[in-house]
């Protein structure tokens, strides 16, 4: 695990508590109730780990919106963006818009998302990576 990843995870654990973003339980409401049962909206966001447009979207639009609506949405980050996958005899080969370095960075983001799992931690981690300009050179 890289120094940048370790530092970012340590900062999250030290400064933020996860509130365990799980969907609210479904409620059965009586016929006289004015409230309606609701489910969270799932929003899938394809992005690229080294793309400036992805970085700006996540920092300036997605995170502020999530902070306002976090009880109503589930954000699924997919670090694949405009990548392509080709199955070869040696296994899958990835082609990313910003080159092979971005493919590796996308894989690092995917691993972090899988390990952290908690929506708040994942979003905070990706935010920290983007805000601190942790490019792939920072991962090695």
Residue 35 domain boundaries: 3-139
CA 54, CA 50: separation in Å to the nearest integer?
A: 8
Determine phi and psi for 21, rounding to 5 degrees.
-60, 90
Could you read off the pLDDT of 29-66 as tens digits, one per residue? Answer: 555 544 455 688 999 999 999 999 999 999 999 999 99
Q: What angle do CA 65, 69, 73 make, to 5 degrees?
A: 105
Q: Is the pLDDT of residue 17 over 70?
A: no
Average pLDDT over residues 73-102: 91
Per the prediction, the chain carries an average pLDDT of: 79
Identify whether the C-beta of residue 21 lies closer than 8 Å to the C-beta of residue 74: yes
CA 119, CA 46: separation in Å to the nearest integer?
A: 15
Counted domains in the chain: 1
Task: State the pLDDT at residue 38.
Answer: 65
Tokens matching residue 79: 């670090």
Residue in this structure with the two tokens 């109503």, named with its chain if needed: 72
């Amino acid at each position: 695990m890289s120094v940048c990843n370790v530092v970012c995870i340590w900062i999250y654990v030290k400064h933020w508590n996860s509130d365990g973003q799980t969907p609210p339980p479904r409620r059965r409401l009586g016929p006289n109730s004015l409230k309606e049962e609701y489910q969270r909206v799932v929003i899938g966001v394809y992005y690229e780990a080294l793309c400036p447009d992805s970085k700006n979207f996540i920092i300036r639009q997605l995170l502020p919106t999530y902070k306002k609506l976090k009880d109503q949405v589930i954000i699924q980050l997919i670090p694949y963006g405009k990548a392509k996958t080709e199955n070869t005899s040696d296994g899958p080969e990835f082609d990313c818009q910003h080159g092979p370095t971005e493919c590796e960075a996308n894989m690092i983001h995917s691993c972090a998302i899988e390990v952290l799992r908690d929506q708040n931690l994942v979003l905070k981690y990706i935010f920290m990576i983007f805000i601190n300009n942790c490019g792939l050179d920072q991962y090695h």
